[in-house]
Amino acid sequence: MSSTTGFPVLDFSLRALRDVVGRVPATGWDLPTPCADWTVTQVLQHAAGDQLGFAAFLTGEPGPEENPFAPSGVRPADPVAYLESALARSAAAWAGVSPDAGEVAVPVPPNKLPARVGAGACALDAAVHAWDIALATGQPSPLTPQIAAELLAVAREIVEPLRAYGAYAPALAGQDGDDAAAALLRHLGRDPRWTPAT
């Protein structure tokens, strides 16, 4: 699928998630990730479910069949196709939204956001979980400085209410030398230097 949503940061983030999942080796699905207690498969299930959740709020269509916050860890028969189905629905839903819309329905508090912020929230989810899977499977980070800076601005608007639901860990203190990606990850409670041993 090659679809333009009308929101460049979202296009980038969906593509990053697709590319990273497409490069997971056959032996990589049960590896640990920066999401505490979740394997690569569980992060995939969560990320796909979140994209379906955004699509459902925008279109009124059914949401994910499984709770994205309680992923089973049972690997889909075709993980790439499983993700692609969710990304296609999300992209199609956002393509029907004007970037200038003052308010759209989203599955994050307060459930109504300006279109650009809502699309940024959807992009944040995809990009950060792409990072989770990339690090878990030995791939390079998909976060560019420009995208990380855009997502950090969104994160500062939307993340605090989500921490109360356990969606994000408490923010980590910044460190000298942090770039935009590191600042974003620390704001989301992730260690930019995470390794499977940590």
Tell which residue, 105, 130, 120, 106, has the closest CA to residue 150: 120
Topology given in CATH for the domain delimited by 8-187? Four Helix Bundle (Hemerythrin (Met), subunit A) (1.20.120)
Whether this prediction's pTM lies above 0.85 is answered by yes
* pLDDT per residue as tens, the chain (198 positions): 445 899 999 999 999 999 999 999 999 999 999 998 899 999 999 999 999 999 999 999 999 999 999 999 999 999 999 999 999 999 999 999 999 999 999 999 999 999 999 999 999 999 999 999 999 999 999 999 999 999 999 999 999 888 877 788 899 999 999 999 999 999 999 999 999 876
What pLDDT score does 198 carry?
A: 61
Largest CA distance in the chain: 46
Domain residue spans in the chain? Answer: 8-187
**136 neighbors 31 (Cβ within 8 angstroms):** yes
What pLDDT score does 2 carry?
A: 45
Whether the link from the prior residue into 110 is cis, omega within 30° of 0, is yes
**151 neighbors 9 (Cβ within 8 angstroms):** yes
The residue with tokens 């925008």 is 58
- Give Cβ neighbours of residue 193 (< 8 Å, ≥ 6 apart): none
**8 neighbors 123 (Cβ within 8 angstroms):** no
Tell which residue, 1, 7, 2, has the closest CA to residue 94: 7
